[in-house]
């Protein structure tokens, strides 16, 4: 299976470049999506090793998971479903054995759809966790800052946005023990960060100089 890694990586990178549209925002570029893919791959390796997943299946699924994200057809078909179809077509050309191929396809198809956990393989659950973790933590905080700057928010607006996104993060589901543990650490970092912002902004609430 190791021999499939580079051909798959090259395929995904090229697919993203050819489907990139004009001016779709920083998260909609081939560069952003490819870098996200590499981060998810790295996180999937960390979780997968701890959870004793099939690493070759997992790595190929991680590389392919967002292949369809920029494809214009993803306006009508969910990118995870479309991606699983694109992946199957490509993997068949590479002659990957049937059983690992089905595991890869399942992981791509369900990486961002909420389904019954009992039906899904370990590699799918690891990929789901790795993908979601990319929204949580220091990069999640920076991404609030990037958004806030783009729409012209001040510190208070950024704090409000940060708190709003924090409550979304608190509701995310993680599936593996390792994924849950990394999530808790990153959530704590995010909570502490916005708490510190609130503390620093509290100085704006004048109590004794109300004539200012
Ligand atoms: Fe995705
Ligand atoms: Fe993703």
Domain of 97 in residue numbering reads as 2-127
DSSP symbol at 153: -
Do 101 and 186 lie in one domain? The reply is no
Do 107 and 146 lie in one domain? The reply is no
Please identify, among 127, 160, 183, the residue that sits at the C-terminal boundary of a domain: 127
How many angstroms is it from 37 CA to the middle of ligand 2? 6
Please identify, among 80, 101, 127, the residue that sits at the C-terminal boundary of a domain: 127
Long-range pairs for 156-161 at CB < 8 Å and ≥24 separation? 156/201, 156/204, 158/197, 159/194, 159/197, 159/198, 159/201
Do 116 and 157 lie in one domain? The reply is no
Q: What tens-digit pLDDT sequence spans the chain (212 residues)?
A: 778 999 999 999 999 999 988 766 666 899 999 999 999 999 999 999 999 999 999 999 999 999 999 999 998 999 999 999 999 999 999 999 999 999 999 999 999 987 777 789 999 999 999 999 999 999 999 999 999 999 999 999 999 999 999 999 999 999 999 999 999 999 999 999 999 999 999 888 766 655 55
CB 170 within 8 A of CB 187: yes
How many angstroms is it from 212 CA to the middle of ligand 1? 50
pTM of the model: 0.92
CB 144 within 8 A of CB 165: yes
Please identify, among 127, 161, 186, the residue that sits at the C-terminal boundary of a domain: 127
CB 63 within 8 A of CB 8: yes
How many angstroms is it from 124 CA to the middle of ligand 1? 12
Do 10 and 99 lie in one domain? The reply is yes
Q: Does residue 113 fall inside a structural domain?
A: yes
Do 123 and 142 lie in one domain? The reply is no
How many angstroms is it from 33 CA to the middle of ligand 1? 9
How many structural domains is the chain composed of? 2
How many angstroms is it from 207 CA to the middle of ligand 2? 47
- The contacts of residue 130 (CB under 8 Å, 6+ apart) are 40, 41, 43, 44, 46, 47, 62, 179
Do 68 and 114 lie in one domain? The reply is yes
Q: Does residue 133 fall inside a structural domain?
A: no
């Amino acid at each position: 299976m190791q021999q499939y890694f580079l051909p798959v990586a090259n395929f995904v990178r090229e697919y993203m470049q050819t489907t990139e549209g004009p001016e779709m925002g920083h998260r909609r570029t081939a560069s952003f999506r490819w870098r996200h893919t590499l981060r998810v791959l790295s996180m999937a390796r960390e979780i997968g090793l701890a959870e004793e997943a099939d690493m070759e299946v997992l790595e190929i699924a991680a590389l392919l998971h967002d292949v369809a994200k920029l494809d214009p057809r993803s306006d009508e078909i969910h990118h995870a479903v479309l991606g699983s179809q694109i992946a199957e077509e490509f993997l068949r050309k590479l002659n990957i054995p049937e059983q690992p191929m089905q595991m890869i396809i399942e992981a791509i198809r369900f990486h961002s759809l909420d389904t019954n956990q009992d039906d899904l393989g370990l590699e799918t659950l690891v990929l789901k966790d790795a993908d979601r973790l990319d929204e949580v933590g220091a990069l999640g905080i920076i991404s609030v800052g990037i958004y806030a700057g783009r729409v012209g928010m001040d510190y208070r607006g950024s704090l409000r946005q940060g708190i709003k996104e924090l409550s979304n993060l608190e509701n995310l589901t993680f599936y593996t023990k390792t994924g849950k543990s990394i999530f808790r650490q990153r959530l704590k970092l995010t909570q502490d960060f916005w708490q510190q912002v609130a503390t620093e902004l509290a100085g704006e609430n004048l109590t004794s100089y109300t004539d200012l």
